[in-house]
C-alpha cells in the first residue's frame, strides 16, 4: 500500500470518527443561549490569537506576524491582559530576516456587560525589541470591539496608538511621535 493511499484512508477514518462523536454529542444535550448570555463574566479568563502576512510570488520579499494574549476579567466589564507579538520581515536584498517583538500589559474597560457586540477602550504599557528595533518602552491608548459568534467565542479588532520613550521625561514629549498598530483575530473566554 503506498503512502498516499494510506494517508487518504486514515483521513477518511478520522473524519468518520469525528462526525460520529459529533452526532452522538449533539443528541445528548441541547443548550439554549440568548444574546444576553454572550461574553465573559467576572473571574473568566480570555485567550486571543491573531496573525498576518504578505509575500511576493517568489517568497523573497515577505513579512508577517503572530500575536496572542491572555486576559482576566476582574468584573463583568474590566479586563487585565498581557499581549505578546512576534513579527518577521525578509525584505528583498537585505541579506536576511529581521525579527521583532513586543510585550504589553493592558487594562480594558468594556462598554457593555452583555451582548454579542462588546466594544472596549483601554490603556497599555510595555516594550518593543528585536533585530532592527531599538529596545524601548512604550505606552498606548487602545480601542476595539469583540463580536461574539458563540457565547464564549468571538472575533475581535483592536487599534492601538503607542508612543515610545526611554525615560519618564520622554513619555510626555513623545506622544506626537506615536504610531498605530492594529490586530484582528479570534478569541475564547473560559
Written as nine digits, the cell of 44 is: 473568566
Phi, psi for residue 122 in degrees, rounded to 5: -165, 180
Written as nine digits, the cell of 107 is: 487594562
Q: According to the model, what pLDDT value does residue 132 have?
A: 78
Length of the chain counted residue by residue: 190
**Lookup result for grid cell 470518527:** 17
Q: According to the model, what pLDDT value does residue 77 have?
A: 97
What contacts 9, CB < 8 A, 6 or more positions away? none
Domains of the chain plus CATH, in order, are 31-189 (2.40.160.20)
Q: Round the CA-based radius of gyration of the chain to a whole number and report it.
A: 21
CB 146 within 8 A of CB 118: yes
DSSP 44-98: -EEEEEEEEEEE-TTSSSEEEEEEEEEEEESSSSEEEEEEEEEEEEE-TTSSS-E
CB 88 within 8 A of CB 64: yes
For residue 189, give the nearest of 87, 94, 69 by alpha carbon. 69
Q: According to the model, what pLDDT value does residue 72 have?
A: 99
Q: What is the C-alpha separation between 123 and 125, in angstroms, rounded?
A: 7
CB count in 10 Å sphere of residue 90:
16
- The per-residue pLDDT string of the chain (190 residues; one tens digit each, 9 = 90 and over) reads 555 555 656 656 665 655 554 444 444 445 555 667 899 999 999 999 998 777 777 777 788 899 999 999 999 999 999 999 999 888 776 677 889 999 999 999 999 988 999 999 999 999 989 987 789 899 999 999 999 999 999 999 999 998 888 665 555 566 677 888 889 999 999 9
Phi, psi for residue 30 in degrees, rounded to 5: -135, 130
Distances (CA, A) of 116 to 19, 40, 120, 184: 28, 11, 13, 17
Amino acid at each position: 500500500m503506498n503512502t498516499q493511499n494510506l494517508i487518504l484512508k486514515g483521513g477518511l477514518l478520522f473524519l468518520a470518527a469525528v462526525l460520529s462523536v459529533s452526532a452522538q454529542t449533539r443528541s445528548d444535550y441541547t443548550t439554549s443561549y440568548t444574546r444576553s448570555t454572550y461574553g465573559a463574566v467576572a473571574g473568566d479568563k480570555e485567550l486571543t490569537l491573531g496573525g498576518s502576512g504578505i509575500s511576493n510570488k517568489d517568497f523573497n520579499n515577505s513579512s508577517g506576524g503572530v500575536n496572542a494574549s491572555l486576559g482576566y476579567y476582574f468584573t463583568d466589564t474590566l479586563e487585565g491582559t498581557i499581549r505578546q507579538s512576534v513579527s518577521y520581515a525578509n525584505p528583498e536584498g537585505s541579506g536576511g530576516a529581521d525579527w521583532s517583538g513586543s510585550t504589553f500589559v493592558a487594562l480594558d474597560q468594556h462598554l457593555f456587560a452583555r451582548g454579542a457586540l462588546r466594544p472596549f477602550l483601554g490603556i497599555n504599557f510595555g516594550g518593543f525589541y528585536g533585530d532592527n528595533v531599538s529596545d524601548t518602552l512604550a505606552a498606548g491608548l487602545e480601542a476595539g470591539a469583540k463580536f461574539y459568534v458563540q457565547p464564549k467565542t468571538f472575533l475581535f479588532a483592536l487599534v492601538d496608538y503607542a508612543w515610545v520613550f526611554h525615560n519618564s521625561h520622554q513619555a510626555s514629549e513623545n506622544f506626537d511621535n506615536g504610531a498605530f498598530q492594529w490586530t484582528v483575530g479570534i478569541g475564547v473566554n473560559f
